[in-house]
């Protein structure tokens, strides 16, 4: 794990341009370093008062606007000689390439290698970029720095992602691809480095256990998923990390870092044939192996439950939610996802005009922000509403939240909310294509989840073509507030008097 360094202090070679400029941009903020929040960042806007009628007219007129013209980049598909599916988007503005290699191997696979081996995938991610069979940590870092590349790996619950960004000319790209290939096929897993990383991870976990948001998250996962692999944190625990061995890391690697378990995405200044060569260079040394087995279904939650964690603070952190849905690449599944996301945007989106914001923030003033979101995964992912509030108001804020969800499901969203949300989703869609990394991330997601191109290319059509009744149905079919798990992290004396005691 990496010590937290604010971006403008972290002058990585590969980030130099940014750092160089950030020095000036953010310069004035140096004392806001580390974990400080940016000073007053807010997203919203207004109509020019010097011409209110004109401007408002324009907003109204958007309802009849012609269709947004957005040329979505062309997705090219091919398969490497050992069967890894590849998606490639050619971009020509810059001499760079972004690579996104994903394995179906996250922390959900930790226990497949070692019982209670929580944090294993995360430790593999940590060690992966710390040397290869032939190069120790230092030699490896020097090679990367000289090339000016960014090579990183990260483990999530469902996925293991390796990213590379490099210059696209062969002179730079070839050695960069060699480096990437060697970390995934011949990682060093140096015993000394592992011991250091384990010690750091334990220390980091100690600190995280003092963080109310982390406490809420881990408690929520455990309560929602019980014995399912999604129950535990990818970071592992202070107990599990010390037990991990080099052999565990190697076994995790050998099991999951195989062609049958991989997907690859490329974005950048390459021809199709160069992209094919690059894909071969990355994957050719991967053994065939087997795809990771399907994850089990979590045990459904039968009834609402409240779990409280004592924490000494004026604020209570609240997480409320349920098991949601899994990723469904069928046309029906994709449309349902879009329908639900429109409905949830009205109910719990981060927009200021969501119903939960309207009730819990604006009307009652219990919190500064309240947001709810669905995280589709391979097995049913979580739906989670989060906020924090003063300890004394936690009970009332939770009651108001549940009431708002119930009311929304019962009454449905209104035609006006529906239309506003449609417009807002469509108008903001093109922003996602404004960076190479953004585009490549989309490809990675598409590829890993075996989603059709239309998941991205037809998004605007799906939002435009959505019907309010189906949006309301998607909300009702998905959300089950009478079975919500509620987690609170806050003062014990307040919790003792809580109305939620009956759900314990």
Residues 297-316 that bind a copy of itself (CB under 8 A): 313-315
Q: Which stretch binds a copy of itself (CB under 8 A): 6-14, 74-82, 254-262, 407-415?
A: 6-14
Q: Which stretch binds a copy of itself (CB under 8 A): 152-160, 254-262, 393-401, 476-484?
A: 152-160
End-to-end CA gap in the chain: 36
- Interatomic CA distance for residues 240 and 234, integer angstroms: 11
Residue 371 found at the interface with a copy of itself (CB under 8 A):
yes
474-503 mask for a copy of itself (x: CB under 8 A)?
A: ------------------------------
Site residues for a copy of itself, 13-42, by CB under 8 A, read 13-42
Considering only 115, 143, 296, 303, the residue that binds a copy of itself (CB under 8 A) is 143
Count other C-beta atoms under 10 Å from residue 415's C-beta. Answer: 9
Q: Which stretch binds a copy of itself (CB under 8 A): 90-98, 258-266, 470-478, 491-499?
A: 90-98
* Sheet containing 85-90, strands listed edge to edge, beginning at the edge strand earlier in sequence: 76-79, 85-90, 262-268, 96-103, 160-167, 150-155
Q: Pairing relation of β-strands 96-103 and 150-155?
A: unpaired
Q: How far is the CB of 482 from a copy of itself (least distance, A)?
A: 22
At 365 the three-state DSSP class reads coil
Answer whether 101's CB lies under 8 Å from 184's CB: yes
Closest CB to a copy of itself among 18 and 480? Answer: 18
Tally of residues, the chain: 504
Residue 123 found at the interface with a copy of itself (CB under 8 A):
yes
- The structure tokens listed for 11 are 């002058």
C-alpha distances (whole Å) from 174 to each of 52, 133, 254, 269, 392 are 57, 19, 25, 14, 60
Considering only 74, 79, 115, 145, the residue that binds a copy of itself (CB under 8 A) is 145
Site residues for a copy of itself, 376-415, by CB under 8 A, read 376-377, 381-382, 384, 386-388
Considering only 85, 111, 196, 238, the residue that binds a copy of itself (CB under 8 A) is 196
Considering only 111, 114, 116, 174, the residue that binds a copy of itself (CB under 8 A) is 174
- Interatomic CA distance for residues 46 and 41, integer angstroms: 16
Q: What is the DSSP letter of 467?
A: -
Residue 448 found at the interface with a copy of itself (CB under 8 A):
yes
What stretch of H or E contains 215?
A: helix 212-225
Q: Which stretch binds a copy of itself (CB under 8 A): 254-262, 270-278, 433-441, 474-482?
A: 433-441
Q: How far is the CB of 459 from a copy of itself (least distance, A)?
A: 8
- Interatomic CA distance for residues 293 and 296, integer angstroms: 9
Considering only 99, 101, 113, 151, the residue that binds a copy of itself (CB under 8 A) is 151
- Interatomic CA distance for residues 111 and 295, integer angstroms: 12
Site residues for a copy of itself, 208-247, by CB under 8 A, read 208, 211, 213-214, 216-218, 220-221, 230, 232-235
Q: Which stretch binds a copy of itself (CB under 8 A): 75-83, 249-257, 343-351, 398-406?
A: 343-351
174: left (phi over 0), alpha (psi -120 to 50) or beta: alpha
């Amino acid at each position: 794990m990496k010590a937290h360094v604010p971006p403008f202090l972290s002058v990585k070679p590969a980030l130099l341009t940014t750092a160089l400029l950030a020095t000036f941009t953010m310069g004035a903020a140096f004392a806001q370093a580390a974990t400080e929040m940016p000073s007053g960042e807010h997203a919203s806007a207004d109509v020019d008062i010097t011409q209110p009628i004109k401007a408002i007219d324009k907003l109204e007129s958007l309802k009849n606007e012609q269709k947004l013209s957005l040329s979505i980049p062309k997705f090219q598909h091919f398969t490497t000689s050992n069967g890894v599916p590849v998606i490639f988007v050619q971009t020509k503005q810059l001499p760079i390439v972004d690579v996104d290699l994903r394995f179906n191997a996250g922390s959900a696979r930790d226990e497949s290698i070692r019982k209670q081996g929580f944090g294993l995938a995360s430790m593999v991610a940590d060690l992966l970029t710390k040397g290869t069979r032939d190069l120790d940590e230092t030699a490896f870092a020097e090679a990367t720095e000289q090339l000016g590349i960014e090579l990183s790996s990260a483990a999530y619950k469902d996925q293991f992602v390796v990213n590379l960004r490099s210059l696209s000319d062969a002179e730079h790209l070839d050695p960069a691809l060699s480096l990437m290939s060697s970390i995934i096929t011949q990682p060093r897993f140096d015993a000394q480095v592992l011991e250091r990383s384990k010690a750091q991870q334990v220390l980091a976990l100690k600190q995280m256990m003092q963080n109310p948001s982390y406490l809420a998250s881990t408690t929520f996962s455990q309560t929602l998923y019980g014995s399912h692999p999604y129950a535990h944190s990818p970071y592992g625990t202070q107990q599990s990390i010390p037990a991990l061995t080099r052999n565990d890391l190697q076994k995790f690697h050998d099991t999951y870092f195989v062609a049958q378990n991989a997907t690859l995405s490329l974005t950048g200044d390459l021809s199709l044939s160069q992209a094919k060569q690059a894909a071969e260079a990355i994957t050719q040394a991967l053994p065939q192996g087997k795809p990771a087995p399907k994850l089990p279904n979590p045990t459904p939650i039968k009834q609402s439950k409240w779990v409280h964690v004592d924490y000494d603070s004026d604020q209570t952190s609240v997480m409320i939610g349920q098991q949601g849905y899994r990723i469904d690449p069928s046309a029906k599944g994709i449309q349902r996802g879009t329908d639900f996301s429109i409905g949830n945007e009205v109910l719990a989106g981060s927009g200021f005009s969501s119903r939960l914001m309207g009730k819990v923030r604006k009307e009652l003033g219990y919190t500064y922000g309240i947001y709810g979101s669905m995280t589709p995964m391979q097995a049913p992912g979580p739906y989670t509403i989060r906020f924090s509030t003063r300890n004394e108001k936690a009970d009332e804020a939770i009651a108001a939240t549940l009431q708002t969800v119930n009311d929304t499901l019962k009454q449905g969203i209104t035609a006006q909310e529906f239309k506003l949300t449609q417009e807002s989703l469509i108008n903001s869609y093109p922003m996602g294509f404004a960076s190479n990394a953004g585009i490549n991330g989309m490809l990675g997601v598409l590829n890993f989840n075996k989603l059709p191109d239309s998941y991205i290319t037809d998004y605007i059509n799906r939002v435009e073509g959505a019907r309010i009744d189906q949006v309301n149905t998607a909300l009702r079919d998905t959300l089950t507030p009478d079975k919500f798990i509620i987690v609170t992290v806050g003062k014990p004396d307040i919790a003792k008097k809580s109305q939620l005691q009956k759900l314990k």
